[in-house]
């Protein structure tokens, strides 16, 4: 089953060569052999005990001639901060939320089930989506343990959607869902050699997802191919009356993204090169130059350079906004949990963590949470000023200015550099070559990463950043690049990177 796409699976399901029940069994065997033994990737925090039963139902529907969508009978893993109304918990990797069985599906999960997809299980993540301690260890949670990079096992899987990225890379599912506030889809995707997309804020509903900050949070698809990401993006797009951000959609945007993908998707496009966001790693830059030549060969007009002003000028106010919104948004989510969940506020979570610090905080603390708890309400002028500044610098005087000034359809930049060694003592290394994520995250604009190359066996990605609501165009550009470059290759599960030197 290595590298089988959704289309491959549907062909086999349609011909009778394979059933969804068999597919579930095969993926569960892979999870047992790769995730829980063997290299012990530890990407899946919980397997759905009802997956086989649901698969049987989908097989019966197919036999009766009823195929709901391209996702009918397809096993999908979702991040453990997304509500599922079933026998699986939703904990954001935290022991504080053990026993949290959601009273209803998140909007995106309901869309999955309506499409006939099978929720195979939940994936591990950086606890609380990497918004608990500073520094932290990406891919580690007190409930799920440490997720490892399948390419080189002593390297970080990045986060916070580490489990989703690793599971896709190791072929433990067809596709997966992650979430991002700033980098939590893009970093693990590029670091694990897969396609990951952060859609325009509001393309997917956030209802039923444990929040960090409503001004930046979104879920998104994680897949081995752009085509599979497009299929998943199409299925879960829609207006949700309970998420005001989705009301900005127009009906035309609820479309079949997959049908618009062609090998000539870059022909005639004006693609800008954000040199000032490209980092300093010499190996990454060499790969980036190769990517630029591929894009030119696809018929795009490359405008080089097309620098983005102010891309690094709002770091402090971004954190300020996240702290304010985290307190308000998390309290709102926790308040509606079942009555038997004792932690019903951020203050309760902080106390639980302190009372159970040997289990919850053996490697890092909860500085982010403590700082958030001190914040006032969202009516605070300090919050309003910070949010206004972020949007001005990231949109009006940042990305929008670059798109307008250079007459661009999209920007390209290295997604990041090679991922760092796991360090449980000091936490994550500061990756100075991860400049791609903050401008589109703060602006709420679409961002997709595609495999671009390897450095000492570690994957790195190429980012396409687009205008608001231009998700379809961004997918077209990424698909054309992917088809022309064909970089993706499955992991080898190396224990470490070994270098030989000769004098």
Closest CA to 195 of 212, 174, 216: 174
- Using alpha carbons only, what angle is made at residue 83 by residues 251 and 31, rounded to the nearest 5 degrees? 110
Question: Any long-range contacts for 380-387 (C-beta under 8 Å, 24+ apart)?
Answer: 380/324, 382/320, 382/324, 383/320, 383/321, 383/324, 386/317, 386/320, 386/321, 386/324, 387/215, 387/317, 387/321
From CA 168, how far away is CA 472, in angstroms rounded?
Answer: 22
- Secondary structure of 287-319 in HEC code, one letter for each residue: HHHHHHHHHHHCCCEEECCCCCCCCCCCHHHHH
Bridge partner residues of 407 (DSSP): none
Given 43, 79, 394, 438, which residue is catalytic? 79
Active site residue 184: yes
Counts of helices then strands in the chain (DSSP H, E): 17, 13
- Cα separations in angstroms, 279 against 32, 154, 196, 223, 479: 39, 24, 20, 25, 24
Element of type H or E holding 226: helix 226-236
Beta bridge partners of 301: 270
79 is catalytic: yes
Assess whether 160 carries a catalytic annotation: yes
Percentages helix, strand, coil for the chain (3-state, rounded to 5) are 40, 15, 45
> Which position among 126, 142, 160, 161 bears the catalytic label?
160
User: Which residue in the list 142, 162, 184, 415 is annotated as catalytic?
Assistant: 184
Helix axis angle, 20-30 to 51-63, nearest 10°: 150
Active site residues: 79, 160, 184
């Amino acid at each position: 089953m290595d590298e089988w796409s959704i289309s491959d699976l549907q062909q086999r399901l349609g011909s009778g060569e394979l059933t969804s029940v068999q597919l579930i069994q095969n993926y569960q065997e892979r999870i047992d052999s790769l995730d829980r033994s063997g290299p012990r990737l530890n990407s899946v925090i919980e397997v759905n005990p009802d997956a086989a039963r649901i698969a049987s139902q989908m097989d019966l529907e197919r036999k009766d001639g009823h195929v709901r969508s391209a996702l009918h009978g397809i096993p999908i893993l979702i991040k453990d901060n997304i509500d599922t109304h079933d026998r699986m918990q939703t904990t954001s990797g935290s022991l504080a939320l053990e026993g949290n069985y959601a009273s209803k599906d998140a909007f995106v999960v309901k869309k999955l089930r309506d499409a006939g997809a099978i929720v195979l299980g939940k994936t591990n993540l950086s606890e609380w989506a990497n918004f608990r301690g500073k520094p932290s260890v990406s891919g580690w949670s007190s409930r799920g343990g440490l997720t490892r990079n399948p390419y080189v096992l002593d390297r970080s899987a990045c986060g916070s959607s580490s489990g989703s990225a690793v599971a896709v890379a190791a072929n433990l599912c067809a596709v997966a869902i992650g979430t991002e506030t700033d980098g939590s889809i893009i970093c693990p995707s590029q670091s694990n050699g897969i396609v990951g997309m952060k859609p325009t804020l509001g393309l997917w509903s956030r209802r039923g997802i444990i929040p960090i900050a409503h001004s930046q949070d979104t879920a998104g698809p994680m897949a081995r191919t752009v085509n599979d990401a497009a299929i998943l993006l199409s299925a879960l797009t829609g207006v949700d009356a309970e998420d005001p951000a989705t009301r900005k959609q127009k009906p035309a945007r609820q479309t079949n993204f997959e049908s618009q993908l062609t090998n000539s998707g870059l022909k005639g496009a004006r693609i800008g090169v954000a040199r000032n966001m490209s980092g300093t790693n010499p190996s990454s830059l060499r790969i980036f130059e190769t990517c630029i030549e591929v894009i030119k060969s696809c018929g795009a007009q490359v405008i080089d350079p097309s620098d983005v002003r102010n891309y690094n000028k709002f770091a402090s106010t971004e954190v300020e906004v996240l702290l304010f919104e985290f307190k308000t948004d998390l309290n709102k989510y926790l308040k509606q949990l079942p009555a038997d969940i004792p932690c019903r506020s951020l203050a309760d979570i902080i106390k639980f963590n302190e009372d159970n610090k040997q289990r919850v905080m053996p490697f890092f603390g909860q500085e982010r949470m403590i700082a958030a708890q001190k914040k006032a309400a969202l009516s605070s002028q300090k919050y309003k000023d910070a949010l206004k500044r972020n949007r001005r610098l990231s949109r009006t005087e940042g990305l929008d200015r670059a798109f307008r000034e250079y007459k661009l359809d999209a920007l390209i930049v290295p997604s990041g550099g090679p991922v760092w060694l796991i360090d449980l003592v000091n936490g994550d290394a500061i990756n100075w070559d991860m400049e791609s994520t903050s401008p589109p995250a703060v602006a709420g604009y679409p961002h997709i990463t595609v495999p671009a190359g390897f450095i000492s066996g570690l994957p790195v990605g190429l980012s396409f950043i687009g205008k608001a609501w231009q998700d379809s165009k961004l997918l077209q550009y990424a698909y054309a690049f992917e088809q022309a470059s064909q970089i993706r290759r499955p992991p080898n599960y190396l224990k470490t990177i070994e270098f030989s030197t000769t004098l």
